[in-house]
């Protein structure tokens, strides 16, 4: 069993156009989790992810805050309000986005199955997490 104190994981600010704070908790290249990637992402007010897809499934739990889950269906945005406790399931290949529509921060917990490949923008967060976890062994 592995216990990770997520509050201690280094936080990395990702650059615009979609600035957000990343914490990488699990990933095969970081701490041996070969089944999934787990991230914590915090958005400033009005922040968001980009519209994007993944090769695998993504499960998103809204930890705190409120906003919208966006899915592209037949070329049109389908917008669903979300708040703390909402669970979002984005199937592999489905274009989606999470937007913070509030005046306070929004934090989401993301699980990618199978593990995701880090984007160039997110790579610094994966590097920081790898450094952090290597010191904890």
User: Distance between CA 53 and CA 47 in Å, rounded?
Assistant: 18
pLDDT tens for 24-70 read: 999 999 988 899 999 999 999 999 999 999 999 999 999 999 999 99
pLDDT tens for 89-103 read: 999 999 999 999 999
Domain extent, residue 120, equals 19-131
Residue 110: closest CA among 56, 5, 38: 38
Residue 99 counted as domain residue: yes
Residue 8 counted as domain residue: no
Give the CATH number for residue 67: 2.60.120.10
Note the pTM of the prediction, 2 decimals: 0.93
Domain count, the chain: 1
């Amino acid at each position: 069993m592995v216990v990770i104190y997520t509050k201690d994981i280094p936080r990395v600010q990702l650059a615009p156009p979609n600035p957000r704070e990343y914490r990488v908790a699990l990933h095969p290249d970081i701490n041996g989790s070969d089944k999934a990637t787990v991230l914590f992402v915090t958005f400033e007010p009005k922040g968001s992810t980009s519209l994007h897809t993944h090769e695998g499934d993504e499960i998103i739990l809204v930890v705190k805050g409120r906003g919208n889950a966006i899915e592209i269906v037949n070329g049109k945005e389908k917008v669903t309000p979300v708040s703390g406790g909402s669970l979002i399931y984005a199937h592999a290949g489905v274009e989606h986005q999470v937007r913070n529509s509030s005046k306070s921060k929004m934090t989401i917990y993301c699980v990618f199955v199978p593990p995701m490949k880090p984007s160039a923008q997110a790579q610094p967060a994966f590097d920081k997490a790898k450094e952090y976890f290597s010191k904890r062994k």
